[in-house]
Amino acid sequence: MAHNFSPRSPNYTDDVPQCVPSGPSSYWPGTTDITDYGRIDIDIDTHISGKLSQLLSSPPNEPNAEPPADRERTWKIKLNIVIQVVGSRGDVQPFIALGNELQKYGHRVRLATHHVFEDFVRKSHLEFHPIGGDPAELMAYMVKNPGLIPKMSSLQAGDIPKKRAMIKEILEGCWNSCIQPDIKTGAPFVADAIIANPPSFGHLHCAQALGVPVHLMFTMPWSNTKAFPHPLANLKYKGTDPNLANYLSYNVVEFLTWQGIGDLVNKWRRETLELELVPAAEGPYLAKTLKIPFTYCWSPALVPKPADWHSHIDVCGFFFRDTPDFNPPDDLREFLDQGPPPIYIGFGSIVIDNPDNMTAIILSAIKSTGVRAIISRGWSKLDGEQLPNVFYLGDCPHEWLFQHVAAVIHHGGA
């Protein structure tokens, strides 16, 4: 089918889907509950789990493939590669490192992400394309509503239409990032390949519409495994086989996610991409069914590749960008020079419900210990009492900062 590369303007409803289940009870052998702190409690029915465990088979033993001898070669074919990323700065930064590496092989690389990261991307010498969405608002919503399934408190607060509009904007932005000219130079662009993180949502569908390959990458485990549960899942094992519970937790999260956005994706597929609708039973598990290549960006020395991940899933190590040139502002430099190295305290993109209370707790600990401290404001905009031994910090590259502090207290972001 020929595709018109000028997407029609979508006319989606902003209402919540008419049939949003409270949980996947009709498809799931157990019960689920969404917590107040962004995780999903999962309790598997022990009577069914034994039968399901017999259906899970380990992949065949596959030899460890050696890197090809010509992997350092510069290929004659230069590709237009779009990298689609939804998330925080910590989600974007590894893909900047990847994009810069791909440029060394002669490829044209476009990084498509939120507008707030435009300066960050351009200073890294990558082409930027906006996909819409406010990452701070979106992540705050997802913390309270994992999988984008709305809780009653979110319904009562009127959050749903705004967040659904944001998802629609991101879907359109992902498609536009594949086909629209460079917003700065006007140079034509049509993607030959797509790299994306899972929360960008549009990746598989854009690849289908264009007939190009797609490769998923992430800093958190998102593929079914018996080794450990989905990072958003709290499992209640009881008498259930832990391996089975771990494996099925990924299905639950994918199911909940599709319940939250599936109707939006299908309308976008039909009205913009001119593709057929995805059946409800298939939507949550497309990447798994199609065996989409998936690379995880952490060190196998930290978390080895699980034995039940097939050859299309791999763990490749962390992505480190080149150390940026950074000249600290005068006030930060003066604070560092005034005494012994301080302790850094930061929570990055974590959106805290009561930042004033959190700041008060941090300041109380600082006062009781007498240490010097740098408090990163982060997305929670931490701020409080002005003390001579405390510095409130905005954006600053950790590669530089952590060489000047005594210790780091952080949120454990990937």
Cα→Cα distances 137→18, 203, 204, 349, Å: 24, 21, 24, 10
- For the chain, domain boundaries: 30-52+75-315, 330-409
Amino acid (one-letter) located at 347 = F
The 10s digit of each residue's pLDDT in 49-82 is 554 554 455 555 555 555 556 555 666 789 999 9
The 10s digit of each residue's pLDDT in 21-44 is 444 444 445 555 655 555 566 666
- Residue 400's region, left for phi above 0, alpha for psi from -120 to 50, else beta, is alpha
With bands split at pLDDT 50, 70 and 90, how would you rate the model's confidence at 10? very low
pLDDT at residue 293, rounded to an integer? 98
Mean pLDDT of 255-270: 92
pLDDT > 70 fraction of the chain, expressed in percent and rounded: 76
Give the distance, in angstroms, between the CA of residue 354 and the centroid of all CA atoms in the same chain: 24
With bands split at pLDDT 50, 70 and 90, how would you rate the model's confidence at 349? confident
Asked whether residue 253 carries a pLDDT value surpassing 80, the answer given is yes
Q: Report the distance separating Cα 113 and Cα 170, nearest Å.
A: 9
Same fold: 30-52+75-315 with 330-409: yes
pLDDT > 90 fraction of the chain, expressed in percent and rounded: 57
Task: Give all strands (DSSP E) within 37-146, no chain letters.
Answer: 40-44, 80-84, 108-113, 127-130
With bands split at pLDDT 50, 70 and 90, how would you rate the model's confidence at 102? very high
To the nearest 10°, the Cα dihedral for 25, 29, 31, 37?
Answer: -100
The 10s digit of each residue's pLDDT in 108-141 is 999 999 999 999 999 999 999 999 998 888 776 6
Full strand arrangement of the beta sheet holding 313-315: 127-130, 108-113, 80-84, 193-196, 214-218, 294-296, 313-315
The 10s digit of each residue's pLDDT in 135-152 is 888 776 666 655 455 554
Q: Report the distance separating Cα 123 and Cα 305, nearest Å.
A: 34
Asked whether residue 7 carries a pLDDT value surpassing 60, the answer given is no
Asked whether residue 366 carries a pLDDT value surpassing 70, the answer given is yes
The 10s digit of each residue's pLDDT in 217-241 is 999 999 999 999 998 888 877 777 8
Looking at the domain covering 330-409, what would its CATH class be? Answer: alpha beta
* Signed CA dihedral, 148, 204, 310, 94: sign only: negative
Q: Report the distance separating Cα 184 and Cα 196, nearest Å.
A: 22
**Which CATH architecture does the domain made up of 30-52+75-315 adopt?**
3-Layer(aba) Sandwich (3.40)
